[in-house]
Chains A and B, each alone.
Chain A
Amino acid sequence: METKNIMIVGVGGQGSLLASKLLGHLLLAQGYDVKVSEVHGMSQRGGSVVTYVRYGDKVASPVIDKGEADYIVSFELLEAARWLEYLKPGGQIVTSTQQIDPMPVITGAASYPDKLVEKLRVAGAKVDALDCLGLAEQAGSSKATNIVLMGRLSHYFDLPEEAWQRSLEAMVPAKFLDLNRKAFALGKNT
């Protein structure tokens, strides 16, 4: 199988690490070769962060380049827009509608662009946008936004629900499992 590419983008501290761990576990269990690449350090502090998940028969590069992502999973709208160039023609964006002002907007040096979902669609991307933060809060914690997004992403994968649930069990601490199962279901079924 040709290598498939999933990019997870957001703002440092939003929980992309757990999402990529879950996907890594899930895809490895399906028998794929998998590579996951993340950046630690200074860029975590409120900066734009990106994690690459690649899977297939044999994966070489650990990163995803422009025009290669089959999926962009985004925790924040502006970040989905920032990384659009990495989406493969015909690729799918799954994004939370949350908006977080970056520092140049806070200081007044720039403004947060409006109507981003529409603009992404006009640019040719398939966009599935939903209020993942709201759904995570409904599940019991704003920190479960990552799992809401994973639930939503699961729509686009031809994998049994059971496989996702097994990876959730393996990657989420037992005391938060019910909450995350709920978050996953809300993301999937909303």
Chain B
Amino acid sequence: MKQLMLGNAAAARGLYEAGVSVVSSYPGTPSTEITEELAKYDDVYSEWAPNEKVAMEVAFGASLAGKRSFCGMKHVGLNVAADPLFTVSYTGVNGGMVIAVADDAGMHSSQNEQDSRHYARSAKLPMLEPSDSAEALAFARQAYELSERFDCPVLLKMCTRVAHSQSVVETGERVAPPAKPYEKNIAKYVMTPANAIRRHPHVEERMALLAEYAETSDLNRVEAGSDRSVGVITSSTSYQYVKEVCGDRYPVLKLGMVWPLPERKLRDFAASVEKLVVVEELDSFLETYLRELGLACVGKDVFPMLGEFSQNLVAEKLGVAPHTGTKLDENIPPRPPAMCAGCPHRGLFYTLSRNKCTVLGDIGCYTLGAAAPLGAIEMTLCMGASVSSIHGFNKALGSESEHKTVAVIGDSTFMHSGMTGLANIAYNRSNSTVIILDNSITGMTGHQQNPTTGFNIKGEPAGKIDLEALCRAMGFRRVRVVDPYDLDACDKAVREELAADEPSVIISRRPCALLKYVRHSAPLRVNADKCVGCKSCMKIGCPALSFRDGRARVDETLCVGCGVCGQLCKFGALESTAKED
């Protein structure tokens, strides 16, 4: 049956149909739904791992044991998992192993727009790149065959517009191959220098065989065109933009396997057209290879390295008139993302802002603490960097900094890569203050469980790590918990821990206001007789508060009654609507 399916769901379906049996991932936009969809199948073991390195090693372990395995992550997650990636390329696999990596050109929800194709080339692994949901399903299935045939993991590269677009697919049945037996093989799987040096030739031979496969595989296809003045080489979503603009006018070499590349096919295609144009988002990956082959082409001299492409951009660059519309002649204020009404992070960031703290931040919803009006966070780099870098910051600046600087990190990010940074503070002794923003969920990626929540990916009871006990076990004597809805308690905790002459951890604990099990208080309402229009409540930047006709106003459909604004009002103008019931 034909159905519309999200690219990520289609990839999950393909993995399922190919018989994947062990799945381990860390959530990251735009990759998350692949694993969420796999978790819906009862005949697949799925889990959220604490980070991508762990996930990839879990998947490798399952492959070693003889089962087909999978791990999925966003582009920056592959940086975390790069260590196992480069060496599993040497050991190869037993059961098939597929690694999905989802790029985010345009940075809809990421801290950079790195191009993951470079990993395929540098780790010497094949990479398949679908251009819609039907290909995501088909390529995911095919990836297992390639993995087992060529004895290596296969990278399945998604991007935001493939991952988060729905298009038509036809599903098939699950055909799980029989598990391969596990056999002890020290020479293949123990990567000591002596063994690894004997594995390296296998890697190079494999890539040569894969390049040969790429010459004849239907993953890479030439689509005929009527006008040979231009020939386009492209892949992924760029292919869709080219087809949108040009239809069947120009011949297109559509690459489904972007590494290794088919040299003869590329040369033949180049020879068949007058001018070669490479259309690829982000880096000049295909173009660089063509230039290495001595093939002249139009590429990044015309197309941008930055951001996402679109049909208008491709049209303009190919000399076709782009569509245009009319802009409203009006100053339209931007609508950046903001912390939700009732977000537990808000009270804590207000406290840090009020105390003029230097705040080193991390990756999560709470990065929004950098936005106006709170403007509290001064640094965000990558997962876990808050905890590691505060140590360096304080070592560099000494006591003056130690008494005003804090690191903030969410519960899931702390499990991902904050613990090692905390161990460094405990070991190398800086007087640093770390605040764990424990909202009991992985928030930004859409509510995934993690090792501190007590539930697994299916929502069943699971192990639960005790953050206080963990910090104490590392040697922190000052570990305290505050409720971020209580501004006085937050203020006291931050002041005392910054004043202390030893490192400390503050756990700011309150579940995400969007979690279904969280019970909210009645919304507040502004008593217009008491409100003097001082705008004190507006300082926290709550989307439920606005200012109309000289008075504050609460949007009662948004307000969850957290009461933080009320604590800022000296006139008691923000009253609960609960009393009226």
Contact = CB atoms under 8 A, between A and B. Distances in A.
Interface of A: 11-13, 24-25, 28, 33-48, 59-63, 65-69, 78-79, 81-82, 84-89, 100-113, 116, 119-120, 123-125, 142
Contact of B538 (A67, A68, A69, A106): A106
Given A67-B325, A68-B323, A112 B541 contact: no
Nearest to B237: A62
A4 to B, nearest CB: 14
Contacts of A66: 312, 322-325
B466 interface: no
Contact of B328 (A25, A28, A123): A123
Given A67-B323, A78-B333, A34 B4 contact: yes
Given A28-B3, A43-B109, A87-B326, A103 B336 contact: yes
A108 to B, nearest CB: 7
B543 A106 contact: yes
B398 interface: no
Contact of A102 (B33, B329, B336, B445): B336
B226 interface: no
B122 interface: no
14 contacts: A37-B166, A41-B444, A45-B365, A61-B237, A61-B311, A65-B323, A69-B325, A78-B332, A78-B335, A84-B326, A85-B325, A107-B372, A111-B333, A120-B328
Contacts of B30: 40-41
A47 B337 contact: yes
Contacts of B538: 106-108
B328 A36 contact: no
Interface string B527-551: 0000000010010011101110000
B535 to A, nearest CB: 8
A84 B328 contact: yes
B5 to A, nearest CB: 10
Contacts of A105: 333, 546
B108 interface: yes
Contacts of B109: 39-43
Contacts of B576: none
Interface string B1-42: 011100000000000000000000000011011000000000
Name which of B32, B331, B335 has the most chain A CB atoms within 10 A of its CB.
B335
A24 B3 CA distance: 9
Nearest to A104: B333
Given A47-B338, A87-B326, 6 more contacts: A28-B168, A37-B164, A62-B237, A65-B310, A102-B334, A119-B330
B55 to A, nearest CB: 19
B546 A101 contact: yes
Contact of B326 (A42, A101, A123): A123
B72 to A, nearest CB: 14
A67 to B, nearest CB: 3
Contact of A28 (B2, B161, B165, B322): B2
B185 interface: no
Interface string B297-338: 000000000000011100000000011111111111111111
Given A35-B166, A39-B108, A123-B328, A47 B335 contact: yes
Interface in B435-451: 444-446
A22 B179 CA distance: 41
B368 interface: yes
Contacts of A34: 4, 166-168
Contacts of B168: 28, 33-34
B112 to A, nearest CB: 14
B444 to A, nearest CB: 6
Interface stretch (B150-158, B202-210, B240-248, B262-270): B240-248
B132 A62 contact: yes
B333 A112 contact: yes
A87 B109 CA distance: 26
A62 B337 contact: no
A108 B537 CA distance: 13
A60 B283 CA distance: 23
A43 B325 contact: no
A79 B311 contact: no
Interface in B472-512: none
A65 B160 CA distance: 16
Contacts of B56: none
B373 interface: yes
Contacts of A67: 312, 322-325
A55 to B, nearest CB: 11
Contact of B545 (A44, A88, A106): A106
Contacts of A79: 335
B335 A103 contact: yes
A142 B324 CA distance: 35
Given A61-B311, A104-B372, A142 B326 contact: no
Contacts of A11: 335
A33 to B, nearest CB: 6
B362 to A, nearest CB: 14
B164 A40 contact: yes
B546 A106 contact: yes
A119 B328 contact: yes
Name which of A37, A67, A84, A109 has the most chain B CB atoms within 10 A of its CB.
A37
Given A87-B325, A110-B331, A65 B444 contact: no
B335 A65 contact: no
Contacts of B371: 103
A66 B307 CA distance: 16
Interface string B234-277: 00010011011000000000000000000000000000000000
Nearest to A113: B330
A88 B167 contact: no
Nearest to A112: B333
A88 B340 contact: no
Contacts of A124: 326
